Structure 1
Amino acid sequence: MRAVTTSPAPARLHGLRFAFGTLTVLPARVARWDREAARAGMLCAPVAGLVVGLCAAAAGGLLLVLGAGPLLAAVAAVAVPALLTRGLHLDGLADTADGLGSGRPAEDALRIMKQSDIGPFGVLTLVLCLLAQVAALYELYGQGWARGAVAAVLAGTAARLALTLASRTAVPAARPEGLGAVVAGTVPPRAALTAAAVVLAGCAAAGAALPGAYDAVRHVLAALVALVAAEVLLRRCVRRFGGVTGDVFGAVAETAATAALVALTLG
């Protein structure tokens, strides 16, 4: 863990540093590692997700401009978020799947999740999740570069908004140490709902820019589906493990991103 230091910078700046420093590999010096900075950081998590989504959309769009097909664009749009997080969210998804699938008591399940190897549940979940993301983006890029790009941005932002909601005060930490313990229970419910409202408004605006008559509604619904899927997983993990961990946060983010992309292909 980084040492806590004092700084005259405003809380919002510390929050942005915390969000980018813990949720991405983008250069951001985390000057404070305390509950106040964690609260601001998790409220800024959708901003980090927006940047990750824009990078993913840019990679997919660049390949299309260079003459590649929608499948390669989809692969690039899935690969970029993985690279920008060092695969930590995907690793958390696999570890959480192993913990949930182990059938062991909470303490043993948490021990399984901390192991460096990935078990069969984790491998299967990881493969299916990535296949679903690529397949959904392939279909969306096939409908036009703009639709695929907006989907990539929405998925990245909704995934990090799910982390904001997972950090609300009613959700406990499963362990006394680690990232989960630092951020768990830091975000007041009203602040979390405000962040959700802002992101959903952004989803509506992005959808409205597309040519479809109901795209604004479709994109808001896709974000809501993502948040519901993430909440279902979060509650399952809290019941199973007694709280959240860094791995659970990664699983929540990947679940939300996948659900959002799949939802955009429906209807």
Structure 2
Amino acid sequence: MSRSRLAAGKLVFSRKSRLCAQTHSRVGSEEQLPNATEFIADLARSVGFLSRLPVPDRFFRGHNGTISRAVRAFPVAGLIIAIVPALVLLLLQSGDPLLVSLIALALLTLVTGALHEDGLADTADGLGGGRDKDHALLIMKDSRIGAYGAVALVLSFGLRASALSALFRDDAVTAALAVLAVAAVSRAILVAHWRALPSARENGVAAGAGFPEDGARNIALFSGAAIALVLLVPVLGLPKVLLSLILAALAGFGFTRFVRQKLGGHTGDTIGATQQLSEIAMLATLALAA
């Protein structure tokens, strides 16, 4: 997750944060959302924040642009975002596994606007090429992609496509359910990363979006795990699903510790990178254990 990209349109977290803030400035005095529960409102804002899917403007009326509480809905938002790619896997189940998997990942990237991939690339460039914290943060602000970022993106798509195609080869339904479950879990883990670290930049995009509440983080983690268990246990069994959840969590935890040592806090980029790393870890575990 990252800052705005001008020419290429590489937008990370700031896209919907700006929309919320602009809407608040126009209608800040209006009443809160009519005819909607708080969670539905948080879910709508989360979908708008994490993707390019259209969200009715009424969900942003009277909202101050922060998502400190709304992050509790990130796993469910991830589930919604992954519906179309999951359907593609089901509809094209007679196709070549690797090709269909790449199509599904391409659609997922299109829906999110390469939100998390952008963060992964910037984080790889910054942490890989930065001499110290300040230099790393400076590199991460550069809109150009470097060698570390390019390699990270190739590995991300390659590993995810390989894992997904392995699941797809065995059973298209399992692959589709895995896409949904992983989308939910990885967005829960990014909330944990966000909450565990202070902001590395006082004026960063993630800082402007607010700081996740403890309760919201706990709900996100619980709901992400619950979604994965409900979707995957019937087709893969409890031990394999638990193993994938543990390794996804370890990937997120290990990366969070690494970022703490290198940067002293999170950025929008590291939040996006957390999502990618946990998604890779969970998909790979499911594929190897299936």
- Contact conserved, 2:121 with 2:150, CA < 8 A, in 1? yes
**2:114 is the counterpart of 1:87:** yes
* CA distance in 1: counterparts of 2:40 and 2:80, whole angstroms: 16
Where does residue 222 of structure 2 map in the other structure? 197
* CA distance in 2: counterparts of 1:108 and 1:184, whole angstroms: 25
**2:137 is the counterpart of 1:110:** yes
Instruction: State how 1:188-267 maps to structure 2 within 5 Å.
Output: 188=214, 190-210=215-235, 212=236, 215-267=237-289
Where does residue 44 of structure 1 map in the other structure? 73
Paired letter, 1:174: A
**2:195 is the counterpart of 1:173:** no
Paired letter, 1:173: S
| Counterpart pick for 2:53 among 19, 23, 26 | 26
Paired letter, 2:200: A
Deviation at 1:112, TM superposition (A): 0.6
**Structure with higher RCO (Cα < 8 A, 6+ apart):** 2
- Contact conserved, 1:42 with 1:167, CA < 8 A, in 2? no
- Contact conserved, 1:92 with 1:248, CA < 8 A, in 2? yes
* CA distance in 1: counterparts of 2:131 and 2:49, whole angstroms: 30
* Cα offsets for 1:154-178 (capped at 9, x unmatched): 111111111221232x421111224
**2:95 is the counterpart of 1:68:** yes
Deviation at 1:34, TM superposition (A): 4.0
* CA distance in 2: counterparts of 1:207 and 1:224, whole angstroms: 14
- Contact conserved, 1:167 with 1:187, CA < 8 A, in 2? no
* CA distance in 1: counterparts of 2:31 and 2:129, whole angstroms: 44
| Counterpart pick for 2:104 among 42, 57, 77 | 77
% of aligned pairs identical? 31
* Cα offsets for 1:135-163 (capped at 9, x unmatched): 00010000011111111111111111112
Deviation at 1:183, TM superposition (A): 4.2
Q: With the length of structure 1 as denominator, give the TM-score of the two structures.
A: 0.89
- Contact conserved, 1:96 with 1:113, CA < 8 A, in 2? yes
Q: With the length of structure 2 as denominator, give the TM-score of the two structures.
A: 0.82
Deviation at 1:202, TM superposition (A): 2.4
* CA distance in 1: counterparts of 2:44 and 2:204, whole angstroms: 18
Deviation at 1:12, TM superposition (A): 2.6
Instruction: State how 1:155-170 maps to structure 2 within 5 Å.
Output: 155-168=182-195, 170=196
User: What RMSD in Å do the two structures reach over aligned CA positions?
Assistant: 1.9
Question: How many residues in Structure 1 have an aligned counterpart in Structure 2?
Answer: 258
